[in-house]
Structure 1
Amino acid sequence: MGMGWDVYVCGVDGAPAVISLDLDLRETAERGTHPQRLHVRHAFHAPRANGLPDGTENDAMYALQDTLVAALTEETDAVYLACMNNHGYREHFFHLPAHSDGRTVVAKVEAESADYELETFSEDDPAWAYYTEFLWPDPRTMQYLMDRRVLQSLAENGDRHDLPRSVDHCLDVPDERSGRALLAEAQAAGFGGRVRAQEGRWQVLLERDDAVELDHIHGVVWGLCEMAERYGGGYDGWGCLIAK
């Protein structure tokens, strides 16, 4: 099962940005069939002081987005990567096959839309570097998105995130010695746990009572991510029972 689309907030050019991204396109990028990157952007009619939209034009922007995606997909076999709100603009990112005339398609969409003037920019990017190096979330942001997804699943089952309960964490380590050292550090931070060998891998299983409100549990998880990295390992996820 793929990761699908997700949205995150970051900073771009000294201003807040909201990026919505298809997280399932790495395999498409590796196939090398769409080497041309196309940007399409328009200004907001009503930006806030921070350069993000005020919400009053959402319907018009989403309608334009749907039209752009449909037209470019149908006429050029484009792949829609992401959109970004930043500095008073909404910008859409596509990858197209070589020699596709995406700008002509965008011009047609603009002619049929009375709402926005569209600016375009295209560049050869056969390695999809913009997708993997700029649009892709950094490691901490990606972990935040994954933590948020766990909480969304819990919420769908009636969980009270503010109620402390035992939360289990799994960390991978390269060997038993690293696992024992990591466990000792985690125990000093109030975790219980054990080290085990599992199908040729060494793992540290930790547990501690915590509330799972997003900012709190993400802080706990990221601390463990950094701890695992110090011992040459990696963080492998968390889980808990539903608390009502």
Structure 2
Amino acid sequence: MSIKIIVKKEKNLSLFDKFLKKKSEDKEQEIQIPDDWDFYLCDIDGKTGSYFLNLALINIIPIVEKNAFLWIELTLNQPTEDGMSSQQEYDTLISLEDQLIPQITELFNAIYVGRLTHSGTRDFYFYLNENIYDAKLVEKTIHKFSDYQIKFGLKNDPLWDIYRETIYPNIYAMQSLTNDRVIRNLENHGDTLVAERPVEHWCYFETSEGRDKFIKTIQTEGFEINSQSYHEENKKPYCVQLVRTDSVELDNINGVTWALLELCIENGGEYDGWETLVILN
């Protein structure tokens, strides 16, 4: 049984996803917003941060009608030692989100893009039309959550640069996120991830010379070549499929795929993903 790189979209546990789904299905809604929500970890000034983000927006931005970026930051009351949210505060935060996000979205016909938790704070991010923004309405909304210290601000961002360059994961974070999705799929099929197993990878290159250089290097790292092919319809038509026995635990597979990703780029190519078998103990 093989697990491919494409997996089902992640569902959010909070209620606001139901609200967003309802909005997207509204016949009067001008902009159809795709959903692909997931978590990823990042480093911010040497401290761990956790994004929960609608990744699908990268395919439709910039949205001309939403030219301003609204951030709302609350200070956590019971953060963990590393500045993340704690289990003790979980229910309170979920309740707050289930109220705050729909209210801001409704007030300004805004698009909620995600949140960031780090350094004892949780930030909520929205895009909206600057012409209909009213700071007093935001103040009135956050005043309802008097148990928290909250601040907010607005930045003009017509090209969605903040989302694209700051919030959206870089190529390494995105690869790690994709790896984690495959691993979750393996675990959902009963795989404990303990056993090493053959892992197949796909890479594509602009030129045959670039592919040949890549192959020469990775063969010294214990990879075997399964096949080479040419796909005329692709911008990078020269494909190579390779395999090596590896652990698929996240830290290890991240190291493997990041190394392949870098080597592909060095040779004018791109790393396209991996596939393996479910192993049941």
Could you say whether these structures have the same fold, taking a TM-score greater than 0.5 normalized by the shorter chain as the test?
A: yes
Superposed displacement of residue 146, structure 1: 0.5
Q: Deviations over 1:84-136 (max 9, x none)?
A: 11222111111111322353333233333342232111111111111111111
- Aligned with 1:47: secondary structure? coil
Q: Does 2:141 match 1:109? A: yes
Is 1:225 the equivalent of 2:252?
A: no
Shift of the 233–28 alpha-carbon distance from structure 1 to 2, 3 Å rule, reads: closer
Does structure 1 residue 198 correspond to structure 2 residue 234? no
Does the CA contact (< 8 Å) of 2:261 and 2:271 recur in 1? Answer: yes
The residue that corresponds to 2:91 in the other structure is: 59
2:6 is matched with none
Instruction: Check conservation: 1:170, 1:204, Cα contact below 8 A.
Output: yes
Contact 2:114 2:126 in 1 (8 A): yes
SS of equivalent residue, structure 1 residue 131: helix
Cα RMSD, aligned residues only: 1.9
Picking from 162, 169, 187, the partner of 2:194 is 162
Match of 1:213 in 2: 249
Secondary structure of 1:118's aligned partner: strand
Aligned residues between the structures = 244
CA distance in 2, matches of 1:167, 1:28: 33
Q: Which position in structure 1 is the counterpart of 2:203? A: 171
Letter in 2 for 1:150: V
1:26 deviation in Å? 2.5
**TM-score with structure 2 setting the length:** 0.81
Return structure 1 stretches of 4+ with deviation > 6 angstroms.
none
- Distance in 1, matches of 2:96 and 2:274, equals 39
Decide which moves more: 52-61 or 71-80.
Answer: 52-61
Unaligned 5+ runs, structure 1: none
User: 1: CA distance between counterparts of 2:130 and 2:77?
Assistant: 34
Q: Is the 2:84–2:118 Cα contact (8 Å) retained in structure 1?
A: yes
Q: Which amino acid aligns with 2:244?
A: R
Once the two structures are TM-superposed, the CA of residue 27 in structure 1 deviates from its matched residue by 4.2
Equivalent in the alignment of 2:183: 151
Return the alpha-carbon distance in structure 1 between the equivalents of residues 47 and 63 of structure 2.
34
Deviates more, 1:10-19 or 1:39-48: 10-19
Measure how far apart 1:3 and its partner are: 6.7
State the distance in 1 between where 2:279 and 2:144 align. 52
Are 2:271 and 1:235 aligned?
Answer: yes
- Please give the alpha-carbon distance, in whole angstroms, between the structure 1 residues aligned to 2:246 and 2:231: 26
Larger RCO of the pair (alpha carbons < 8 Å, separation 6+): 2
- Normalising by structure 1, we get a TM-score of 0.92
1:33-57, CA deviations, whole angstroms, 9 ceiling, x for partnerless residues? 1011111111111233332233311
Overall identity of the aligned pairs, in %: 29
User: CA 1:64/1:180 → structure 2, altered by over 3 Å: closer, same or farther?
Assistant: same
Aligned partner of 2:106 among 51, 74, 90: 74
Distance in structure 2 (CA, Å) of the matches to 1:162 and 1:70: 42
